[in-house]
């Protein structure tokens, strides 16, 4: 059975399955708004590369150093932040800051010298410097 196309309010044809998908995503998004919002799917990350390093900057606001885990295994870089719920005394009127766990993984494009990796957390931004191994660094060849 083929889906029926219908016209939406903007005079465009729309597949009902697209409408269902959009409504489902909207409902799931609302469910996570009070529990991390967009953080439910990850956090913003920038990955750049120069001749000697791969540089990673990941926004991790509100996380302490001990709440962040960085692993590199088999060419896959994984960054996880996990904040436990705080125990409170007394009556709660509003509680939006609760347990939160975010994780992202990236396949790195080149070999990394794991013994020289540098990681720093500065003002809510995790900064990683991942030095390339000598074998993958560009080498200048003299032209004769």
Confidence class of residue 88 from pLDDT cuts 50, 70 and 90? confident
Query: Is the model's pTM score more than 0.85?
Result: no
Burial 49-83 (b: 16+ CB within 10 A, else e): eeeebbebebebeebeeebbeeeeeeeebebebeb
- Residue 76 near residue 105, CB atoms below 8 Å: yes
- What's the mean pLDDT in 40-63? 88
Between 3.50.50.60, 3.40.50.300, 3.40.390.30, 2.60.40.790, what CATH number should domain 42-86+98-136 receive?
A: 2.60.40.790
Tens-digit pLDDT profile for residues 24-48: 766 665 555 444 444 445 789 999 9
- What's the mean pLDDT in 107-115? 87
- Residue 80 near residue 60, CB atoms below 8 Å: no
Distance CA(31)–CA(37), nearest Å, equals 8
Confidence class of residue 143 from pLDDT cuts 50, 70 and 90? very high
Domain ranges in the chain? 12-40, 42-86+98-136
DSSP per-residue string spanning 19-65? HHHHHHHHHHHHHHHTTTGGGGG---EEEEE-SSEEEEEEE-TT--G
- Give the best-scoring range by mean pLDDT among 4-18, 32-46, 55-69: 55-69
């Amino acid at each position: 059975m083929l889906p029926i196309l219908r016209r939406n309010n903007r005079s465009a044809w729309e597949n009902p399955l697209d409408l269902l998908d959009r409504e489902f995503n909207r409902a799931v998004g609302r469910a996570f708004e009070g529990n991390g919002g967009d953080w439910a799917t990850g956090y913003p990350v920038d990955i750049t590369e120069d001749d000697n390093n791969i540089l990673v900057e990941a926004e991790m606001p509100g996380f302490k150093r001990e709440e962040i885990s960085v692993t590199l295994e088999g060419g896959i870089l994984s960054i996880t932040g996990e904040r436990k719920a705080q125990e409170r005394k007394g009556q709660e009127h509003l509680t939006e800051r609760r347990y939160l766990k975010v994780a992202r993984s990236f396949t790195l494009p080149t070999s990394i010298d794991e013994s020289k990796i540098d990681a720093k957390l500065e003002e809510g931004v995790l900064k990683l410097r991942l030095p390339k191994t000598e074998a993958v660094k560009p080498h200048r060849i003299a032209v004769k």
